[in-house]
């Protein structure tokens, strides 16, 4: 029960903090060819992955992982806003050889 609640908390905190720090809710249109980060992608995906890694390693923090979920949601939103483009650069927008 606490695990499921931790996953819900990490998604809600990642989206909430992402919106507070002015990440757009959705990427630019057309979404298939957009490399814009948003509050819905990849922010909660990163926070869910980090939380799953921590749980698998046996690190659950205090309060059955609820505090860890909140912390990782906030951390992932800040990562996406300020560091994501430096770690994962956007591909070149030139013509392809296909």
* 35-83: pLDDT as tens digits: 788 999 899 999 999 999 999 999 998 999 999 999 999 999 999 999 9
92 domain residue, yes or no: no
12 domain residue, yes or no: yes
89 domain residue, yes or no: no
**What is the extent of the structural domain holding 78?**
2-25+38-84
33 domain residue, yes or no: no
11 domain residue, yes or no: yes
Look up tokens 């002015």; give the residue. Answer: 22
Whether the Cβ atoms of residue 17 and residue 77 lie closer than 8 Å to each other? yes
Tell me the percentage of the chain whose pLDDT exceeds 90: 71
Whether the Cβ atoms of residue 26 and residue 40 lie closer than 8 Å to each other? yes
96 pLDDT tier (thresholds 50, 70, 90): low
91 domain residue, yes or no: no
> How many domains does one find in the chain?
1
Q: What mean pLDDT is predicted for residues 17-26? A: 94
Average per-residue pLDDT for the chain: 90
Q: What mean pLDDT is predicted for residues 12-27? A: 94
* Cα separation, 91 vs 8, whole angstroms: 32
């Amino acid at each position: 029960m606490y695990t499921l609640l931790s996953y819900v908390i990490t998604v809600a905190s990642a989206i909430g903090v992402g919106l507070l720090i002015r990440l757009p809710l959705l990427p630019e249109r057309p979404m298939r060819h957009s490399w814009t980060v948003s509050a819905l992608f990849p922010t909660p995906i990163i926070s869910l992955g980090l939380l799953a890694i921590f749980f698998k390693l046996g690190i659950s923090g205090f309060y059955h992982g609820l505090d860890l979920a909140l912390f990782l949601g906030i951390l992932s939103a800040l990562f996406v806003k300020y560091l994501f483009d430096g770690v994962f650069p956007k591909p070149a927008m030139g013509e392809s050889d296909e």
